[in-house]
Structures are given as structure tokens and as C-alpha cells.
């Protein structure tokens, strides 16, 4: 017994189907089939992120030395008449003391310049330790991943930084 399908011509990809015979010079149009693929995408909520801040406060005492200047004024009586053509004294500083001459004109038969007094100003400095309580604030960000059903699935809390004292 011979199989008739075994003796008939076959085209690739068309097994089980009969091939058409074409005479020389005859044209045949073959339909071609092509498949295409398409990807669709859509947004799917898999969770949310929640970021909040927490503020912590620390009380500290700040210490500093405050400096202040005090001025002492001493009046030194001179009562010396300046000679004719003598240059009047000017403001000067001697040994940390500022000296301001005070002049007065008096009317005599002739006009004379009399050095009445000098004002001596001495500056001294004193220090005082002070303590001032202050409240310092520091914020930290807390990041939480929240699932679509509202449960927190992951939480990121920062580690507190080491205290630095100045």
C-alpha cells in the first residue's frame, strides 16, 4: 500500500494541505501572513510613601565671658598760665590714660591763656561669666512605605546624631 500524500508535492509550512501546480509563465499571488505584538501598560498602585518630621528638643546651658569697659574720670588742677606764644596742649594719651586739656581765657590788662585743669580718663576692663539656658530643636524625617490596603510595610527612622558640645 502506498500513501498518496507521500508522493504529492508539499510547500514548507503547509503540511497536510495540497499544493497547487503552476504552469510555466503563469503568475500566482500568495497572501502572506504576519503577526504583530503590542504591549499595553497601565498604572497599578503597589503602595505609597509617607514622609513626616519629628522634632526633638534639648536644653543646654550656653556659657560665655562678657567683657565690659568702665571709665574713671579724675580732674587734675593745673592753674598754670601759658607764656606768650606757647602752643596750647592737645589731647594726648600717656600710659593708657587719655588726657584732655581744659583751657580758659581770662581778661586781664592783657589776654593770657591759663591751663585750668586736665581731665584724665582711665579705662579698665572686667570679665563676667554668664550662663543662659536655651532650647535647641532638631528635626528628623521619618519615611514610611504604605501598602494599598493602608498598612505600613517599611519604615525608615534616622539614627540620632552624636551630640556635639561647643
Q: How many CA atoms lie within 13 A of 50 on its CB side?
A: 13
pLDDT digits (tens, 9 = 90+) for 64-107: 999 998 899 999 999 888 888 899 999 999 998 999 999 998 87
Q: How far apart are CA 79 and CA 72, in angstroms?
A: 22
Q: Give the predicted TM-score (pTM) of the model.
A: 0.37
Supply the pLDDT for residue 89. 93
pLDDT tens per residue, range 27-69: 888 788 888 888 888 888 888 888 888 889 999 999 999 999 8
What's the pLDDT band for 10 if we cut at 50, 70, 90?
A: very low
Residue 47 C-alpha cell reads as: 503602595
Contacts of 96 (CB under 8 A, 6+ apart): 122, 123
Amino acid at each position: 500500500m502506498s500513501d498518496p500524500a507521500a508522493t504529492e508535492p508539499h510547500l514548507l509550512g503547509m503540511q497536510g494541505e495540497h499544493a497547487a501546480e503552476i504552469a510555466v509563465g503563469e503568475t500566482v499571488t500568495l497572501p502572506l501572513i504576519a503577526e504583530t505584538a503590542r504591549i499595553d501598560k497601565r498604572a497599578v498602585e503597589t503602595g505609597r510613601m509617607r514622609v513626616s518630621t519629628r522634632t526633638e528638643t534639648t536644653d543646654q546651658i550656653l556659657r560665655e565671658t562678657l567683657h565690659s569697659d568702665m571709665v574713671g574720670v579724675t580732674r587734675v588742677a593745673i592753674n598754670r598760665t601759658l607764656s606768650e606764644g606757647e602752643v596750647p596742649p592737645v589731647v594726648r594719651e600717656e600710659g593708657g590714660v587719655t588726657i584732655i586739656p581744659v583751657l580758659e581765657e581770662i581778661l586781664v590788662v592783657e589776654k593770657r591763656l591759663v591751663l585750668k585743669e586736665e581731665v584724665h580718663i582711665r579705662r579698665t576692663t572686667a570679665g563676667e561669666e554668664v550662663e543662659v539656658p536655651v532650647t535647641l530643636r532638631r528635626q528628623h524625617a521619618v519615611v514610611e512605605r504604605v501598602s494599598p490596603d493602608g498598612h505600613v510595610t517599611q519604615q525608615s527612622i534616622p539614627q540620632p546624631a552624636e551630640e556635639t558640645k561647643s
